[in-house]
Amino acid sequence: MRPEQARASPWAGVLVAFFEPELRAWYGAQPLRKVFWGYGVGVSALVVLLYAAAFYEDRPLAQQVMLFCFAAYTIWLLVSLWRCAANSSLFWGLLTRWLTVAWAANTALILIALQADLVVCYLGH
């Protein structure tokens, strides 16, 4: 659903206005550098710090919730990066798309390893 289509109800309008930058990224309308560095590096680093805090505080439920959120966020991010790469120069667009593939593989392996660790934790408690 495009942002202009979601304005049918008052709540939809509020949500679209609040998430407009993210929706623009999803549709490939944001500058690549903003999505890559702001959402890709900045927000992802914050998520890693939050997960690390939950890990060291031994909070498996918080870790589980964050893994789910991180997986959903990563899907949004990778699609947004791929689409925003089309608006960039050939070099940066191609480089971003290759990095997106590597990022997806790396994230999948990390999520599998962290989930396996949580399963061991659940079985051990």
Instruction: Supply the pTM of this predicted model.
Output: 0.85
Across 63-90, average pLDDT: 96
The DSSP annotation for the chain comes to --GGGGTTSHHHHHHHHHTHHHHHHHTT-S-HHIIIIIIIIIIHHHHHHHHHHHHHTT-HHHHHHHHHHHHHHHHHHHHHHHHHHTTS-HHHHHHHHHHHHHHHHHHHHHHHHHHHHHHHHHHH-
Across 72-101, average pLDDT: 96
**What pLDDT digit, counting tens, does each position of 21-69 carry?**
999 999 999 999 999 999 999 999 999 999 999 999 999 999 999 999 9
pLDDT band at 95 (very low <50, low <70, confident <90, very high): very high
Q: Yes or no: say if 51 and 65 are a contact pair by the CB < 8 Å rule.
A: no
pLDDT band at 103 (very low <50, low <70, confident <90, very high): very high
Q: What integer pLDDT is reported at residue 16 of this predicted model?
A: 83
Across 115-122, average pLDDT: 94
> For all residues of the chain together, what is the average pLDDT?
91
Of 95, 61, 72, give the one whose Cα is nearest residue 26.
Answer: 72
**What pLDDT digit, counting tens, does each position of 18-29 carry?**
899 999 999 999
pLDDT band at 3 (very low <50, low <70, confident <90, very high): low
